[in-house]
Amino acid sequence: MKSALGALALALAPLLSLAAPGQGHMGQMDHTNMNMAGMNHGPADIGQPAKNPTRDIQIDMGDNMRFTPERIRVKPGETVRFVVKNSGQIRHEFVLGTPADLQAHYQMMLQQPDMPHHGMGNSVSLEAGQTGELIWRFPKQGDVGFGCLEPGHYPAGMQGKVVVE
């Protein structure tokens, strides 16, 4: 009986944490164990977190709702370190994804603006004045989008593109 109750408690724990107030998105959903935040495409579609970058790319995020630069060129198979600085006065983030995935994630952020993003591997969320980094390998040709998915930022134009050619 005890083992059956213990198993039931373990099975229900994730559901109970979603309903608990004050714990994050949807009762605070943590993206840590989600594949690209439940997005339609896995990391293999746009690349994956990596080590040993071949070069650094500086990205600035500002309160003008723009990334500098907005367009980046990399080669297929290249691994880059994005050194991301929030030069603004409010929180911004740099999230890699397909346009469809970024839009879907943005809609989720509208409903759950305090959702933690740690552990996803494809994002850096920074408070004002902070700098962070993300190392990513781009395996194949194509375009990979990036954006700030803080509510209001993405539709205001805070988005860009990595062209892999």
Domain count, the chain: 1
Q: Is residue 74 part of a domain?
A: yes
| 29 within some domain | no
CA 156, CA 165: separation in Å to the nearest integer? 28
Is the peptide bond preceding residue 69 cis, with omega within 30 degrees of 0?
A: yes
For residue range 111-139, what is the model confidence (pLDDT) as tens digits? Answer: 887 766 555 689 999 999 999 999 999 99
At residue 87, what are phi and psi to the nearest 5 degrees? -90, 5
At residue 25, the pLDDT reads 30
Q: Is residue 22 part of a domain?
A: no
Rg of the Cα atoms in the chain: 17
Span 35-55, mean pLDDT? 69
The CATH code of the domain that includes 87 is: 2.60.40.420
DSSP assignment string, 124-161: EEE-TT-EEEEEEEE-SSEEEEEE--STTTTTTT-EEE
The answer, yes or no, to whether residue 9 has pLDDT greater than 70, is no
Write out the residue range of the structural domain in which residue 151 sits: 45-164
pLDDT value at 148 more than 60: yes
- What are the residues whose beta carbons fall under 8 Å from the beta carbon of 162, sequence distance 6 or more? 72, 73, 74, 96, 138, 143, 144, 145, 146
Q: Tell me, yes or no, whether 39 lies in a domain.
A: no
Read off the pLDDT band of 38 (50, 70, 90). Answer: very low
88 domain residue, yes or no: yes
Q: What is the pLDDT of residues 46-103, one digit of tens each?
A: 999 999 999 999 999 999 999 999 999 999 999 999 999 999 999 999 999 999 999 9
50 within some domain = yes
Domain-embedded: residue 145 = yes
Average pLDDT over residues 16-38: 33
For residue 26, is it within any domain? no
Give φ, ψ of 139 to 5 degrees.
-80, -25
